[in-house]
Structures are given as structure tokens and as C-alpha cells.
């Protein structure tokens, strides 16, 4: 059985993202939640939600890439290469099966790590702010965000600007490099003009979000009382060093499998 149905592929192609429920192993999700507390900011206590509210105290900030702590962001990357973490997301049967379906078996490196556990701390009692998108700068084909804990609405969920990948892809000078054009900024400003242009995902432990490398997105604001905890991994074609030098061209799916290219999204593609 294929990891993705034809309808799911159609959604991914049209919207630039796809939510799948209950994908990751719940025991591994619980293990990740526990391991997050190996090295927290000193004043942040596992069993005291009042201590979770950001921003992180200036004297407790860390610019260590393996355990970045600053503002409302806590990115615990140290665990990213541990085999059980790779099994949790990148080598998950559904996730890896979807990668083979979209990019082709043997066409990307065997997953050996994930980015780590990415957290957004609660904002506390603050005025709400508008959302603002970005497009990732590093070259990859698609990424997956997995929730290891409950993420409520307005709880810092991964937020996307549906369909934006189909314009952003052509607005860059390269298929995968972050070489933007004036059209890129114009379109970004148009999308940022209203939060209604975006969609904030939310869900339960085990849920995942697949997303195209050119979709506008952000780690959204967290107005809940809990830490938004997610694991992230990227999938990258073996031929990326050559492909990233290529111009976008007319076909956004030129580097993907026939399974992907053959599914129509029902409009001008």
C-alpha cells in the first residue's frame, strides 16, 4: 500500500502542504518529550507551566547550535542524530514511504538525523501580532514537521500560506537556492497583508505536516499555556548540488517522480 493516496498527493501539490494524523509512534513521542528536559533553561521547570512562559531570560540564553535558547525559541538539536529520534520521524514507515513515493527510492540519502526538537515557548499575556512568512534558505525538496505533544489552536503550530509554493517557485532565480527576485518580496508583502492568507496547523502527538520547500511558512505565535514541541526533518535529492544551479523552469515538479507529476490538481497546475 502506498504511503500517500492520490488525493493526498493532489492536496500536497495544490496547497504545498499535507497534514497526516497519527503517523509517529506515541512511545517515541513520549521519549522525546522526556529527553527535551535534559538541558532546559535553568529557571524552566518541567512540572511548573508558569516557568515555561517566554522570553528566555537574557542570562539563560544560549547561542550553542546544539541547544539554542533565545527569545521564545528553544531548539534542542543535540538529539537529532540519535537512532531512536531518526526512527521517530525520518525513518518512520509512512514518512519514508512518502519520500520514496515523491522523490523515488534510492534518489535521496538514507536519513541519519533530524533537525532536533524545536520549541516555541508560550508568549504569556501579550498583544497579538500579525503573522509573517519566510521561505527556507537551505536547499531541500520537502520537509516534515512532527508534533510530539498536543498543539492547540493558537498554540504555535506550524503555519503555512497555502498555494504560495506555486508562485514562489517561479519567483526565485534558482530551483533551490534562496536567490530571490523583486517579485518575491512583492508577493511576500501581499500575503503578509492579512492573517487570513495563512493557515495554522494544530493537532495531537504523532501528527505530521509535509511541506514543499518553496511554501511560505512560519513557526506561529504561541498564545497557549504550553510549549509547542515539534521534530523536523528534510528530504533532499542526491543530485541537489547540480539541481540547485538550475533555473526554475516551467514545471515545479520536474525533479519529482511520475507518481507526483501524473496527479492533476484540477487547475492550471
* Residue 78 grid cell: 543535540
219: its cell numbers: 513557526
Element holding 212 (H helix, E strand): strand 208-212
Q: Is residue 268 part of a domain?
A: no
Confirm whether 259 is domain-assigned: no
- Whether the pLDDT of residue 108 is over 60: the answer is yes
269 is a domain residue? no
Residue 266 confidence class, pLDDT cut points 50, 70, 90: confident
Torsion over CA of 55, 57, 63 and 66, rounded to 10 degrees? -80
| Residues paired with residue 222 on neighbouring β-strands, in sequence order | 155
Is 265 domain-assigned? no
Backbone angles phi, psi at 225, to 5 degrees: -100, 15
Indicate the average pLDDT of the chain: 95
HSE value, Cβ hemisphere, 13 Å, CA-based, for 207:
17
CATH number for position 230? 2.60.120.620
List, for residues 156-166, the tens digit of each pLDDT value: 999 999 999 99
227 within 8 A of 97, measured Cβ to Cβ: no
Q: What pLDDT, on the 0 to 100 scale, is given for residue 244? A: 93
Phi and psi at 208, nearest 5°, equal -130, 160
Note the pLDDT tens digit of each residue in 109-130.
Answer: 999 999 999 999 999 999 999 9
Cα distance between residue 137 and residue 2, in whole Å: 31
Q: Among 38-52, 172-186, 243-257, where is mean pLDDT lowest?
A: 172-186
The yes-or-no verdict on residue 1 having pLDDT over 80 is no
pLDDT category of residue 182 using cuts at 50, 70 and 90: confident
Domain extent at residue 149: 6-252
In a domain, 35, yes or no: yes
Is residue 268's pLDDT more than 60? no
pLDDT at 267: 61
Quote the percentage of the chain above a pLDDT of 90. 93
Do the domain assignments include residue 194?
yes
Instruction: Check: CB of residue 155 under 8 Å from CB of residue 222.
Output: yes
User: pLDDT at position 21, please?
Assistant: 98
- Helices first, then strands: H and E counts in the chain: 8, 10
Cell of 73: 525559541
Q: What is the pLDDT of residues 30-80, one digit of tens each?
A: 999 999 999 999 999 999 999 999 999 999 999 999 999 999 999 999 999
Quote the number of domains for the chain: 1
Whether residue 166 is contained in a domain is answered as: yes
Tell whether the model's pLDDT for residue 150 goes beyond 80.
yes
pLDDT of residue 137: 86
pLDDT for the residue 161: 98
Residues 6+ apart with CB under 8 A from 121: 52, 53, 54, 55, 56, 72, 73, 74, 222, 227
Does residue 260 belong to any structural domain of this protein?
no
Rounded to 5, what percent of the chain is helix, strand, coil? 30, 20, 50
Amino acid at each position: 500500500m502506498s504511503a500517500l493516496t492520490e488525493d493526498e498527493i493532489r492536496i500536497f501539490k495544490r496547497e504545498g502542504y499535507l497534514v497526516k494524523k497519527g503517523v509517529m509512534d506515541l512511545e517515541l513521542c513520549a521519549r522525546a518529550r522526556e529527553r527535551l528536559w535534559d538541558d532546559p533553561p535553568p529557571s524552566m521547570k518541567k512540572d511548573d507551566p508558569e516557568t515555561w512562559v517566554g522570553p528566555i531570560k537574557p542570562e539563560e540564553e544560549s547561542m550553542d547550535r546544539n541547544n539554542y535558547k533565545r527569545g521564545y525559541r528553544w531548539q534542542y538539536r543535540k538529539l537529532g542524530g540519535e537512532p531512536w529520534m531518526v526512527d521517530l520521524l525520518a525513518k518512520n514507515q509512512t514518512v519514508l514511504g512518502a519520500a520514496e513515493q515523491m522523490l523515488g527510492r534510492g534518489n535521496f540519502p538514507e536519513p541519519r538525523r533530524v533537525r532536533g526538537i524545536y520549541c516555541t515557548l508560550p508568549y504569556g499575556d501579550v498583544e497579538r501580532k500579525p503573522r509573517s512568512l519566510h521561505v527556507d534558505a537551505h536547499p531541500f525538496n520537502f520537509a516534515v514537521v512532527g508534533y510530539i505533544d498536543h498543539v492547540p489552536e493558537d498554540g504555535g503550530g506550524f503555519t503555512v500560506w497555502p498555494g504560495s509554493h506555486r508562485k514562489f517557485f517561479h519567483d526565485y532565480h534558482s530551483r533551490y537556492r534562496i536567490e530571490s527576485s523583486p517579485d518575491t518580496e512583492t508577493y511576500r508583502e501581499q500575503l503578509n497583508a492579512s492573517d487570513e492568507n495563512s493557515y495554522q496547523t494544530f493537532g495531537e502527538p504523532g501528527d505530521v505536516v509535509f511541506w514543499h520547500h518553496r511554501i511560505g511558512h512560519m513557526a506561529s505565535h504561541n498564545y497557549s499555556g504550553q510549549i509547542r514541541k515539534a521534530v523536523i526533518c528534510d528530504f533532499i535529492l542526491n543530485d541537489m548540488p547540480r539541481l540547485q544551479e538550475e533555473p526554475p523552469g516551467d514545471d515545479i515538479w520536474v525533479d519529482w517522480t511520475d507518481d507526483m507529476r501524473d496527479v492533476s490538481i484540477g487547475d492550471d497546475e
